[in-house]
Amino acid sequence: MIASTPEATKHRRRPEKINVHILRQDGPGLPSYWERHQVGYEPDMNVISILQKVAAQSNTSEGRAVAPVSWDCGCLEEVCGSCTMVINGRVRQSCSALVDRLLEANPIEIELRPMTKFPVIRDLMVDRNRLFHSLERVKAWVPVDGYYDMGAGPRISREDQERDYPLSQCMSCGCCLDACPQFNKIELQLQPGESEEELQTRKNTAFDQAFVGAHAISQAMLFNSHPVGKNMANERLEALKQPGGIQACGNAQNCVAVCPKQIPLTTSIARAGRAVTVYAIKKFFDR
Amino acid sequence: MAGKRVVVVGGGLAGLAASMKLAELGVAVDMISLTPVKRSHSVCAQGGINSVSDLTRQEGDNEWKHFDDTIYGGDFLQHQPPVKEMSYWAPKVIDLMDRLGVTFNRTPEGFIDRRRFGGTLYRRTAFAGATTGQQLLYALDEQVRRRESEGMIKKFEFWDFLGPVLDENGQCVGAVAQDMVSMEIRSFPAEAVIVATGGNGLIYGRSTMSVFCNGSAASRCFQVGGRFGNAEFIQVHPTAIPGADKLRLMSESARGEGGRVWVPRRPNDTRYPKEIPESERYYFLEERFPKYGNLVPRDIATREIFNICVSEGLSVDPSRMCVYLDLTHIPRAELDRKLSGILEIYEKFQGVDPREEPMKIFPAVHYSMGGLWVDYEKSADGGLLIGSPKNQMTNISGLYAIGECDYQYHGANRLGANSLLSCIFSGLITAPGIVSGMQSKKSTDATSSSVFESAVARHQARHKALLANQSGNENPYLLHQELGDVMTRAATVVRENRQLQEAYDRALLIQERSKRCTLTDTGNWSNQNVIFTKAFQDMLPVALCILKGALMRDECRGAHFKPAFAPKSLSSQDPTERRKEAEVWCDRFEENNSRFLKSSIATWKAPEPEIQYEAVDTSLIPPRPRLYGLVGAEAIEQVWNERTKNKNQHQEVASERRNPSPVG
């Protein structure tokens, strides 16, 4: 297309227009379809600014008026975890996906798809409720007595803080889950006569039997190493011992490769594996 | 408290703190949020949270000094009792967050490490790397998830708050909200509604704020009768990374850890920054403010950076305005331990390693000091009466506002690392007040269902009318850009009356045009187009408050800077003359305070706001001139101190006359 002429090569890094190929879907259970959009190039763009332009013009490259593309975003600086999508085949945050870099790798077009392991709500928006449910499954919190003033917390060594801080930066974006071969999509629809609450219960039951995910395993390890958090260590290990827990991990190590925060997820998984083994043996002998 | 519910709108630090505290007190909570609460804008706060510590105490610090720094930094525009209470609670707030598992940086011995922040001389700021807001938010999010699993809290995420429900007496009896996926609109009856929806940076188009911070929730309360205070005070953060979609914050902690701001002394010096020798660098903040250096309060740092680029032509980049923020003299390991979060942001978005090369930064709209007017009840010692239902209540009974969306804590300028504190503090203290209020008032259960039905019907009508309007010719996204341009030009760092008047007239026109927005999506499934358009329309009343408040305020105070009304530096070198000038300066200062040491309080009289002024409670710390870096500051200070001393003596004599002591 444009890449062959010398003129185009000269302007390759500063094209006038950017072609965007977007996988759209009007709602849950409906067929998906590809659509091409074209937006004007500006310096320092990211995928978010492309999508903002797409929303403002609401016209395909063929000039057909369409509804704006739906997507999710928040902080635009890679700390909130909202804007995860599959960009040129890789799951990542769209705010930190810089257009100049994407065009270096593929000057023809930028391809956007929704995450593959979560039900599509619309276009690039998915339902990541399951991800938060996993945090509840592993009781990812410190069980303090309450919120009255009880003085300072426990003293913590610098070494422990430096081990824990990276884990506590997990922003629940879901990249690790989308890339994981053991984490499969669960998509349940409202059945006739079923209430929203009944559907949620049915979903939770399904979630509870499926793989909990690298992010939750890592959070379990974070709270199991906290001086007060570890008072519930056995409850967390029990959760990880269940089906869909630690043994569901196939050790593909994709999670750590795609984590935008470089969280040592596989280290957490290895720690969890050892802890669950010790816990199971102890439990066996304590019977 | 069985069966009684409270609605909390917004799930940032303030909303989460209020929710978890309410749950602890046995009150069930419905949380309504535009986003999963874990993704709220508090995650963007970087630098830290302030309190006096055991260490600073031994260096001469105390809660009163934290209180004084906050008031002085805010140019005396806050009511003092709530700020005093906050400063005294601050160490307790940090203790609580510590117990909840926040991974604060530690000293080698295992204590919470502290760094220095702007507007103070003490190292009060506790931090977790450079992602403190994120870490604090997660700790609260975890507690809320815990209470959710116990059945005390129910979350309604991806729901848009459309407004409070008021009964025939004007009492708030619940909220109406819309599911952003199914587009269902329903009411949430409640004993009280707490709005904790943050700032309104989106009014400026691009800012350091997240896309949810559009101010629409506060505006929806304002439009049904809530008062809006000090709207014109918008903090422009001195250091941000300019971007096409957003201006990304570069935390004050970069300067707290020793970062230095400079430009080459020679204009258009094209040398690579590291090749420019020390003697040819202009460290303008350090030279002009020897006491505070790079850590002057934000309003001052912002104006200096703005001036260096705009008036003095010393921008380091010919194509856009920016100055260097330099960390390259600090060891890599220390940078990584204390600042990695923000350095990674710079590296990712700019493609340059800030450990090796100075960052290029410029000011950006960052924080709304103003917000919904809220009440408080003063205690005998000049702080707050904890447990009073008045604390944080708006002028609409039963409707509360906390966090960035209230106007209470930061006056004309917020000090760095005080916002995380005010958010958590206001959240924690609101809960017991609501509980005691519930015990003394009639329950919402008695409210007739027709009140809720008609509120829902009103919002449904607005929604349907927008979807049906195919005759308009306005694109909401482009019109929003236009508003952003108008606001950024007229109501940021430097303000000028002619420009403000023009901007106000244009904003009124944009408001009219916003009613003619036509949607490109008229469906009823996950329609972001209609949600955005409603939010955009609701930005305008607040935009008008900002502009009108700024227009009417003919003075300089904190973030509000009007050069035409700036107090002059002293010019004479002769001691007698200088003394005279200082006297005149102080007279003018007092005169100006009697006119403008007042909060602007807006009420909505569609299609325009009406502004009145409210006296500020300055009963604890008498106002004094804010003299950072002013030429002649010593002379003015001397005159001012003499006057204060005289006044105090005078008052003592007067009070002795009024209350003659018993003859013994």
Let me know if A196 is exposed, middle or buried by CB neighbors in 10 A (0-12, 13-18, 19+).
exposed
| Identity of the residue in A80, A142, A155 whose CB atom sits nearest the CB atom of B39 | A80
Grade residue B628 by pLDDT with cuts at 50, 70 and 90: confident
- Tell if the CB–CB gap between B211 and A151 is shorter than 8 Å: no
- Residue B463 one-letter amino acid: H
Whole-number Cα distances in Å, B538 to B164, B200, B216, B356, B511: 14, 11, 5, 44, 9
pLDDT of residue B441: 80
A23 in any annotated domain: yes
DSSP letter, residue B312 = S
- Does residue A1 have a pLDDT over 60? no
pLDDT of residue B656: 58
Q: Buried (b) or exposed (e) across B373-391, using 16+ Cβ within 10 A?
A: bbbbbbeeeebbbeebbeb
Residue B14 structure tokens: 């303030």
Highest mean pLDDT (candidates A38-52, B438-452, B504-518) = B504-518
Interval B646-652 mean pLDDT: 82
A215 in any annotated domain: yes
- Does residue A2 have a pLDDT over 50? no
Same domain, residue pair A134 and A272: yes
Q: Which of B14-23, B475-484, B641-650 has the lowest mean pLDDT?
A: B641-650
- Tell if the CB–CB gap between B134 and A73 is shorter than 8 Å: no
- Does residue A13 have a pLDDT over 60? no
Q: Under a CB-based contact definition with an 8 Å cutoff, are residues A87 and A111 in contact?
A: yes
- Tell if the CB–CB gap between A226 and B528 is shorter than 8 Å: no
| Identity of the residue in B104, B243, B345 whose CB atom sits nearest the CB atom of A78 | B345
Same domain, residue pair A159 and A101: no
Interval A43-71 mean pLDDT: 93
Reported as a single tens digit per residue, the pLDDT across B342-397 is 999 999 999 899 999 999 999 999 999 999 999 999 999 999 999 999 999 999 99
Same domain, residue pair A102 and A166: no
Query: In this complex, is the C-beta atom of B104 within 8 Å of any C-beta atom belonging to chain A?
Result: yes
Give percent above pLDDT 70 in chain B. Answer: 98
Grade residue B651 by pLDDT with cuts at 50, 70 and 90: confident
A3 in any annotated domain: no
pLDDT of residue B320: 86
Same domain, residue pair A143 and A271: yes
- Determine how many CB atoms are found less than 10 A away from the CB of residue B21: 24
Same domain, residue pair A133 and A26: no
Phi-psi region of A215 (alpha: psi -120 to 50; beta: other; left: phi over 0): alpha
pLDDT of residue B664: 35
Residue B160 structure tokens: 């848009």
Which of B491, B386, B494 is CA-nearest to residue B433? B386
Query: In this complex, is the C-beta atom of A4 within 8 Å of any C-beta atom belonging to chain B?
Result: no
**What is the domain extent for residue A166?**
128-285
Interval A242-265 mean pLDDT: 97
ipTM score here?
Answer: 0.95
- Chain-centre distance for alpha carbon B635: 33
pLDDT of residue B2: 58
- Chain-centre distance for alpha carbon B95: 23
Right CATH number for B468-563 from 2.60.40.420, 3.40.50.880, 1.20.58.100, 3.40.50.620?
A: 1.20.58.100
**What residue in A sits closest to B243 (Cα-Cα)?**
A44
Q: Which is higher by pLDDT, B473 or A123?
A: A123
Q: Under a CB-based contact definition with an 8 Å cutoff, are residues B134 and B37 in contact?
A: no
Same domain, residue pair A60 and A142: no
For position A137, which CATH number holds? 1.10.1060.10
Reported as a single tens digit per residue, the pLDDT across B398-430 is 999 999 999 999 999 999 999 999 999 999 999
Q: Under a CB-based contact definition with an 8 Å cutoff, are residues B304 and B363 in contact?
A: no
- Tell if the CB–CB gap between A122 and B525 is shorter than 8 Å: yes
- Does residue A205 have a pLDDT over 70? yes
Mutate to test the interface with B, among A41, A80, A129 (most CBs of B within 10 A): A80
For position A33, which CATH number holds? 3.10.20.30
Query: In this complex, is the C-beta atom of B129 within 8 Å of any C-beta atom belonging to chain A?
Result: yes
Reported as a single tens digit per residue, the pLDDT across B310-332 is 999 999 998 889 999 999 999 99
pLDDT of residue B229: 98
Domain boundary among A91, A122, A153: A122
Reported as a single tens digit per residue, the pLDDT across A165-190 is 999 999 999 999 999 999 999 999 99
**What residue in B sits closest to A133 (Cα-Cα)?**
B145
Same domain, residue pair A101 and A154: no
- Does residue B211 have a pLDDT over 60? yes
Domain boundary among A64, A87, A122: A122
| Identity of the residue in A44, A150, A164 whose CB atom sits nearest the CB atom of B99 | A150
Grade residue B244 by pLDDT with cuts at 50, 70 and 90: confident
- Tell if the CB–CB gap between A73 and B212 is shorter than 8 Å: no
Grade residue A7 by pLDDT with cuts at 50, 70 and 90: very low
What's the domain count of chain A? 2
Same domain, residue pair A117 and A133: no
| CA–CA gap between residue B446 and residue B221 (Å, rounded) | 23
Interval B261-283 mean pLDDT: 95
Same domain, residue pair A31 and A144: no
User: Which residues in chain A have their CB less than 8 angstroms from residue B151's CB?
Assistant: none
Grade residue B440 by pLDDT with cuts at 50, 70 and 90: confident
pLDDT of residue B662: 46
CA angle B201, B48, B400 (to 5 degrees): 50
Grade residue B442 by pLDDT with cuts at 50, 70 and 90: confident
User: Which residues in chain A have their CB less than 8 angstroms from residue B210's CB?
Assistant: 74-76, 80
Entry pTM: 0.95
Domain with CATH 1.20.58.100 in chain B: 468-563
Domain boundary among A122, A151, A183: A122
Query: In this complex, is the C-beta atom of B115 within 8 Å of any C-beta atom belonging to chain A?
Result: no
Set B298, B303, B495, B557: catalytic member? B298
Residue B11 structure tokens: 């799930």
- Please write down the HEC assignment for all residues of B556-578: CECCECCHHHCCCCCCCCCHHHH
DSSP, collapsed to helix, strand or coil, labels residue B215 as coil
Interval B44-59 mean pLDDT: 95
Reported as a single tens digit per residue, the pLDDT across B551-566 is 999 999 999 999 999 9
- Does residue B459 have a pLDDT over 60? yes
**What residue in A sits closest to B90 (Cα-Cα)?**
A149
Q: What counts of helices (H) and strands (E) characterise chain B?
A: 17, 21
Q: What counts of helices (H) and strands (E) characterise chain A?
A: 11, 7
Same domain, residue pair A99 and A137: no
- Determine how many CB atoms are found less than 10 A away from the CB of residue A5: 10
Grade residue B470 by pLDDT with cuts at 50, 70 and 90: confident
| Identity of the residue in B103, B349, B523 whose CB atom sits nearest the CB atom of A165 | B103
Note if B298 is an active site residue: yes
Same domain, residue pair A184 and A250: yes
Interval B264-278 mean pLDDT: 94
Domain with CATH 3.90.700.10 in chain B: 239-364
Interval B454-467 mean pLDDT: 97
A260 in any annotated domain: yes
Q: Which of A57-66, B80-89, B600-609 has the lowest mean pLDDT?
A: A57-66
Same domain, residue pair A114 and A230: no
| Helix (H) or strand (E) segment spanning residue B583 | helix B575-596
Q: Under a CB-based contact definition with an 8 Å cutoff, are residues B365 and B201 in contact?
A: yes
Task: Write down the CATH number for the domain with range B239-364.
Answer: 3.90.700.10
- Tell if the CB–CB gap between B96 and A46 is shorter than 8 Å: no
- Does residue B647 have a pLDDT over 90? no
What one-character-per-residue DSSP string does A188-204 give? --PPTT--HHHHHHHHH
- Calculate the average pLDDT of chain B: 95
Interval A67-85 mean pLDDT: 96
- Chain-centre distance for alpha carbon B657: 44
Q: Which is higher by pLDDT, B446 or A83?
A: A83
DSSP, collapsed to helix, strand or coil, labels residue B185 as strand
